Amino acid sequence: MSKIRWGVLGVAKIATVKVIPAMQQSDLCEITGLASRTAEKSRAAAEELGIANSYGSYEDLLADPDIDAVYNPLPNHLHVPWSIKALEAGKHVLCEKPIGLTSTEGQQLVDAGKAHPQLKLMEAFMYRHHPQWVTAKKLVKEGGIGELRTIQSFFSYFLSDPDNYRNHADWGGGGLMDIGCYPISLSRFIFDAEPTSVSGAVEYDPNFNIDRLASATMDFGVGTSTFTCGTQLTPYQRVNIFGTTGRVEIEIPFNAPPDCPCKIWHETAAGIEEISFDICDQYRIQGDLFSEAILNNTPVPTPIEDAVANMRVIEAIVRAGKAGVWEQV
Ligand SMILES: NC(=O)c1ccc[n+]([C@@H]2O[C@H](COP(=O)([O-])OP(=O)(O)OC[C@H]3O[C@@H](n4cnc5c(N)ncnc54)[C@H](OP(=O)(O)O)[C@@H]3O)[C@@H](O)[C@H]2O)c1
């Protein structure tokens, strides 16, 4: 087998606009199937995207023996249930972030993964695979900013559509689940540790009852990380990583564009160096790395337990916001 045959659950925007077109460029991935709850919807989308097979239910896709791996971009409340069904159907699973509604639910997926040790399972935090993040991490690790002391991140957009699952509390909506998960993930990635305690100021939308503005501090013992995320704000994203002698700034940290070079800045006493990266698609790299792990039977780049650890931090920030005190993670 030289290419992994992928099936996609749901005609999700992220899948049709970004992930499928990126993975179709890969030498290791073939998108062979697309499923929807509506046969006509998956047929039309499959035709448009040049995908050979479409299915009128997610069950039908999972029953197809010619699919090796499943990409799950369903709304957050369906991540764990459908990822477990996919594992039970013998498919490798790449599941969108955040891993589920709670860390307890996420742990159920981890346990399901352990019950199927021959199958690969990973949360789709694509940003980590972009060379700009690989380089930022290397710079920090090799002392390029001295001692790592603090990280500052911002991620926002404006979304008032009541039909979008992000504005449904029961479906895992809210800014912390949708975008706050990125600053948490990258801070744990760069510190290579878990925060011990967090504080948070969290404001809820009075109609949707989802968090629409959250500012949090994570204490990593050796340093801190602060971030703000908002779902009713002007769109913006930026990350700054500060050390005792230098700084790394990532211009477009999360939605790195696939059609123009990305850049980061490395500032030291010697000045500011701009580091530019060749055009690449982080979703393609993610698909390549996951497919490689299947083909070579090697570990996936990020173990699934990482997803549960990330969710624990989200939960602690929610608790801290409600209690108005620091919370242990
Ligand atoms: N990694 C990234 O860069 C990134 C970016 C954006 C989003 N995401 C993640 O990807 C996931 C999907 O986001 P999205 O914005 O692409 O979602 P979306 O466009 O709303 O699509 C979600 C799909 O889920 C299916 N679905 C099944 N049950 C549903 C229900 N009860 N309500 C609504 N849809 C239902 C629908 O497909 P059918 O009708 O065809 O069955 C729908 O098209 C989320 O988990 C999000 O966090 C990741």
Task: Return the CATH number at 270.
Answer: 3.30.360.10
Distance 218 CA to ligand 1 centre (A): 29
The residue whose two tokens read 């998960």 is 181
What does the alpha-carbon distance between residue 232 and residue 45 come to, in Å, rounded to a whole number? 30
Residues 56 and 133 in one domain: no
In a domain, 292, yes or no: no
With H, G, I as helix, E, B as strand and everything else as coil, classify residue 62.
helix
Distance 166 CA to ligand 1 centre (A): 10
Our count of domains for the chain comes to 2
Of 101, 125, 149, which one is at a domain's C-terminal end?
A: 125
Atom of ligand 1 nearest to the CA of 11: 40
What is the per-residue pLDDT across 299-319, written as a single tens digit (0 to 9) for each?
A: 999 999 999 999 999 999 999
What does the alpha-carbon distance between residue 114 and residue 101 come to, in Å, rounded to a whole number? 20
Write out residues in the chain with pLDDT < 50, as ranges. Answer: none
Distance 81 CA to ligand 1 centre (A): 14
What is the per-residue pLDDT across 151-207, written as a single tens digit (0 to 9) for each?
A: 999 999 999 999 999 999 999 999 999 999 999 999 999 999 999 999 999 999 999
In a domain, 298, yes or no: no
Query: What is the pLDDT at residue 2?
Result: 86
Query: What is the pLDDT at residue 1?
Result: 63
What does the alpha-carbon distance between residue 86 and residue 79 come to, in Å, rounded to a whole number? 11
Residue nearest to atom 10 of ligand 1 (CA): 73
Atom of ligand 1 nearest to the CA of 58: 41
- Ligand 1 pocket residue status of 126, Cβ below 6 Å: yes
Q: Could you tell me the residue range of the domain that residue 248 belongs to?
A: 127-284+310-328
Q: Are 167 and 161 in contact (CB under 8 A)?
A: yes
What does the alpha-carbon distance between residue 220 and residue 252 come to, in Å, rounded to a whole number? 24
Query: What is the pLDDT at residue 256?
Result: 98
